[in-house]
Amino acid sequence: MTRVLVLNGPNLGRLGLREPEVYGSQTLADLAEMCRETGRGLGLSVDVRQTDDESEMVRWIHEAIDGKTPVVLNPAAFTHYSYALRDAIAQRTAPLIEVHISNPHAREEFRHTSVVAAVSTGTIAGFGLMSYRLALHAIAELTTAAS
- Which residue out of 100, 112, 132, 137 is catalytically annotated? 100
137 is catalytic: no
Q: Is 52 annotated as a binding residue?
A: no
Beta carbons of 4 and 44 less than 8 angstroms apart = yes
Q: Is 53 annotated as a binding residue?
A: no
Beta carbons of 137 and 42 less than 8 angstroms apart = yes
Q: Is 112 annotated as a binding residue?
A: no
112 is catalytic: no
In whole angstroms, give the CA distance from residue 99 to residue 41: 20
Q: Is 111 annotated as a binding residue?
A: yes
User: Phi and psi for 49 in degrees, rounded to 5?
Assistant: -135, 155
Q: Is 55 annotated as a binding residue?
A: no
| Catalytically active residues, by annotation | 23, 100
Q: Which residues fall in the annotated binding site for substrate?
A: 74, 80, 87, 101-102, 111
- Residues flagged as binding site: 74, 80, 87, 101-102, 111
